[in-house]
Amino acid sequence: MNLKHINFIVLAIILIAGVATFRGAKGDSMMQLFIGIATTISYILWGMMYHWFEGDLHTKVVIEYLLVGAIAVVLLLTVLWT
Amino acid sequence: MEFPAVLGYATDIRVDALLTATNVQRSALGLTSLTLNTTLSQAAALKAQDMFTSNYWAHTSPAGKSPWFFFNQAGYKYTIAGENLAKNFSTSSGVVEAWMASPTHKDNIVKSGYRDVGFAVVNGILNGEETTLVVQMFGATNSPIASIPVETSAVAPKPVELPAFIEEKSLGDQTSKVTEVPIVTESETIQTVSAPKSAFFAVFEQPKLNISTITRYVTFIFLGLLIVILALDGLIVSKKRIARVAGHNVAHILFFSAILVAISVVSRGTLL
């Protein structure tokens, strides 16, 4: 098992834990938003770590992960507050 | 002549369905069914009315009125009591399912000491937005349970007969008519409480376009498109062996898929 596999196992754990806790907080929109933001931040940090290990961490990559995270948070906000 | 709303939140919450769903949960655990108590329903209606009037979403009002105040005000002499609140759910089953998924609310539903239950389902404006409130009040007047919540230690005023002011009416009428409800306390002084003569037993709204459903579909389509675009982009880059500095498409697809799954479980309703 190489580093890439380990990285994706970590990502899977982050995402599964995020979705599971999000489901567990059903009925509490604030908590769901908090979990969504926490999962997004974890994903962005995971992205930084992954590309740092791969040796291709660049400002463009950081911006890409930040934008992906922003899209996710905006969509969560939209669904949670309508 | 009334026209159906074009854009709104589809809602179908009824007291009889709430009672049935609550008792189904109790029966599944071998507990006795709760009886719908008119006085408790009056207490629930008074609580709902107070929440709209004082504009709060809490068990205790800004003026310090606890749920037990409304039990006393309606004249329900409890030995054990409890309250569940919900707002903005679409269906009766959705409300009870959400309560059952929350340990503290479930405790109320499956507490063996309760004998009676009362409900109020009311539509109104809370914090500036259209809100469907569900108030569920539990109680027993002669419970064999020894452990009584701290809040229930307050002495209930002498129960009095209240005029029946709860009646089913069509939606959109709840703020227009009021009736005076006299409340007699132990000192025999009479207070009057204005209670809206409204749809306390059910809220039914069927707009042509449901905002929640539209928002969800638009979000799903947007996320689906993003996933497809990322997949195609990854495929083209891999096939043409293009070297570029970019994020990992598979990771983005996994992340957006997780967001898609999370959004699919979002319900508009909130518990307290």
**Contacts with B270 from chain A: Cβ below 8 Å:** 27-29
* Residues contacting B207, CB < 8 A, separation 6+: B4, B5, B6, B7, B8, B9, B10
pLDDT tens per residue, range B183-212:
333 333 334 344 444 447 767 677 777 777
Residue B197, pLDDT score: 43
Residue of A nearest to B219 (CA): A75
Q: What is the mean pLDDT of chain B?
A: 78
CB-CB: which of A22, A64, A80 is closest to B246?
A64
| Residue B266: band (very low, low, confident or very high) from pLDDT cuts 50, 70, 90 | confident
Residue of B nearest to A76 (CA): B263
| Residue B9, token pair as written in the block | 């939140």
Residue A26, pLDDT score: 77
pLDDT tens per residue, range B209-235:
777 788 889 999 999 999 999 999 999
Inter-chain contact A68–B247, Cβ cutoff 8 Å?
yes
Residue B32, pLDDT score: 94
**Contacts with B212 from chain A: Cβ below 8 Å:** 82
ipTM of the complex model: 0.97
Residue B2, pLDDT score: 54
**Contacts with A36 from chain B: Cβ below 8 Å:** 259, 262
pLDDT tens per residue, range B131-187:
889 999 999 987 544 333 333 333 333 333 333 333 332 223 333 333 333 333 333
Residue of B nearest to A55 (CA): B245
